Structure 1
């Protein structure tokens, strides 16, 4: 089997985006260690710079000069590219300042919903106008600080709405009490709360009410952990090929709920060891079918869908309606691509069921979605001849993905065409 590959996974996208917001809001200079450098996070850092925050970048660290009083410029135009965190967090950050700020985004991001967040900001007295479709980018904010108080939020489409409001809380004059009526991807909110604690703020929680004190954030040095969603492709690769892989930097203390994907692999027959600061997955040659609810780890749904045909029985993934409003409708995209590979698939509003089979080579339709490419690359380890209509869209979260994956396959002696 050769030596056990250690895979160096780039930093977490969700942690890097939150860290940039918190660093910009904090009093003092924050150093982010090993942040993710990708299209999304570069877009976020560039957005901060457009608002007048100073962001200094070296290869391994980013330094941010915090401004508790808000953006340095009285007016700015910010282009959020394809990044949902950028498109949702930066307007919220700007609202706490004073000035006139306009935000726009790519066509793909313009289609993604914002309404629950912008409704909550308006309820808090923020002067916010959608310039085209209501509840979507582009939008303009005439910022005059945020008083705070009580607000009700529906986070059933995206936990990012709640994360944005939680992070805004300490920048308001009297703090926030947020009543949440529905919540998807709850572990991402736990990431936010843990990170706010690192920047000196304690969020209190009673049932569906979260209370955030005013008083601002303290700057700090913050190490960004590897991206657990990205790690899922490497863990899945080990499970599906009967090999072994270890990811350092992700272990028992990991913030990201998506590390829970390894529990799914364990249920399918893989051996999993979660250490203090590393996780190892060992394929056993056995991959069992199962039924699993993935609402809380829905970014890894395509990873499971792509290896499902290799299981010995049907794989049914439930409670993943929110995957329909990501970069693309991921549920339909997975179903369509599995059918292209000759695999039997059934879908409903919030579920997909995949029957065992032997995939035949085909071109994967990516819809410009990084996770569709990375997921089906895993299937490519067992099905030579899988190709992609847009392999380069991985730059959103992992510009070096194809090289890293090719290296892993080569180390295992598996012929892998990659992109």
Structure 2
């Protein structure tokens, strides 16, 4: 029975780096994700004057509750959305002038709701070229705190950034959210903040964060549930069995709920205390599913969908249009290139069963790691699939191709 060794969660690693940098003392992160995104986050912290010691399995971060150790810095955020959204927020709590830029791909992604909220809190923040996008400059003098209204309908990362800032303000934050996607990611944030000693509560649409900072700790990073979805999908598609250790009933990540989708389609699923197992049964039923809260796994399901016995309709995923690419249209385009029948709307995609997909198809990735990893699953049943940019998996899983090949050998593919 193949056991998939999934690297650490990108979402948890990014939040842990912020929390460690802001905490009072030295924090040790155990098994953090080592990828382009998280290395970019760590590099950004170092540009802001934070010291990070690395071993193969740990990162040790010297926290600075008072903010960056330098009064001026230029930070390049690469392709990382968490880097590009969290680090300017962290810098705002310090004192100095900090400039942030990012890749062309990240420059296209929206930032406006977060920067409007920061300005409402008194942060001197200027977009240097296009309003609501990188590059930007923060002239920081600490943040007083208070009440703020936020629209997090495009990305929950806007809310996470403000929540993480809350304990670093002088009087705390009271955040009223008018719209919110990907709620499980916010729950990751609040759970981790509490693990670092912060006080945060939710009352309906209002989040209240007390001042008082963070305390250093030793924090273990659980495996990435979004990444695990490709391995679980492979088992469901092939009739094989895959076990992922480190993800169980107490996992922080909502994307583990993807296995519930597979169970509805006919797979056998067992979620234990600290492991999750999926076994394919030879049947994949059609399904209609709302994936608003687990939208990072939408491409995984879309890539699996042509092999179902009935239509697969994925709803309430408008926010996938403002990820690394327009994921909804990218999935639709690639499925059509494979010969599948696909219909899309503003916030939904429906894939019809396909008796046979077109072998030898090249997948257009748009530089998006999830296009590669999702359609690698499709390739288990359709030979000769290739990618125009297979290396973009370095964003979250540099060794994906080797790990996936090893797993599929164990599945008898």
Shorter-chain TM-score above 0.5: yes
Distance 1:223 1:11 in 2: 9
- Are 2:256 and 1:265 equivalent residues in the alignment? no
Residue 413 of structure 1, CA deviation = 2.4
Residue 325 of structure 1, CA deviation = 0.2
Kept in 1, the 8 Å contact 2:155–2:319? The answer is yes
Counterpart of 1:417 in structure 2 is: none
Counterpart of 1:26 in structure 2 is: 23
Q: After superposition, what is the alpha-carbon deviation per residue over 1:363-391, rounded to whole angstroms, capped at 9, x for unaligned?
A: 10100000000000001011111111110
Counterpart of 1:13 in structure 2 is: 10
Distance 2:336 2:112 in 1: 34
- Are 2:330 and 1:338 equivalent residues in the alignment? no
Q: After superposition, what is the alpha-carbon deviation per residue over 1:90-139, rounded to whole angstroms, capped at 9, x for unaligned?
A: 00000000000000000000000000000000000000000000010000
Residue 49 of structure 1, CA deviation = 0.1
Distance 1:234 1:13 in 2: 17
**3-state DSSP class of the match of 2:211?**
coil
**3-state DSSP class of the match of 1:232?**
helix
Counterpart of 2:411 in structure 1 is: 412
Residue 202 of structure 1, CA deviation = 2.1
Distance 1:365 1:210 in 2: 40
Distance 2:199 2:229 in 1: 30
RMSD: 0.5
Q: After superposition, what is the alpha-carbon deviation per residue over 1:6-32, rounded to whole angstroms, capped at 9, x for unaligned?
A: 110000000000000000000000000
Kept in 1, the 8 Å contact 2:238–2:411? The answer is no
Aligned with 1:59 (options 56, 59, 71): 56
- Are 2:144 and 1:147 equivalent residues in the alignment? yes
Residue 82 of structure 1, CA deviation = 0.2
- Are 2:324 and 1:327 equivalent residues in the alignment? yes
Aligned with 2:351 (options 351, 354, 379): 354
- Are 2:241 and 1:236 equivalent residues in the alignment? no
TM alignment of 1:161-180, pairs within 5 A: 161-180=158-177
Counterpart of 1:385 in structure 2 is: 384
For structure 2, the 5+ residue unaligned runs are none
Q: TM-score, normalised by structure 2?
A: 0.99
- Report how many residues are paired: 411
Counterpart of 1:160 in structure 2 is: 157
TM alignment of 1:6-405, pairs within 5 A: 6-357=3-354, 358-361=356-359, 362-405=361-404
Q: After superposition, what is the alpha-carbon deviation per residue over 1:306-364, rounded to whole angstroms, capped at 9, x for unaligned?
A: 01000000000000000000000000000000000000000000000000012112110
Distance 1:411 1:14 in 2: 29
Query: Structure 1 segments of 4 or more deviating over 4 A?
Result: none
Kept in 1, the 8 Å contact 2:37–2:80? The answer is yes
Kept in 1, the 8 Å contact 2:235–2:411? The answer is no
**3-state DSSP class of the match of 1:135?**
coil
Distance 1:25 1:315 in 2: 44
Distance 2:208 2:304 in 1: 41
Q: After superposition, what is the alpha-carbon deviation per residue over 1:169-226, rounded to whole angstroms, capped at 9, x for unaligned?
A: 0000000000100001111000000000100112111111110000100000000000
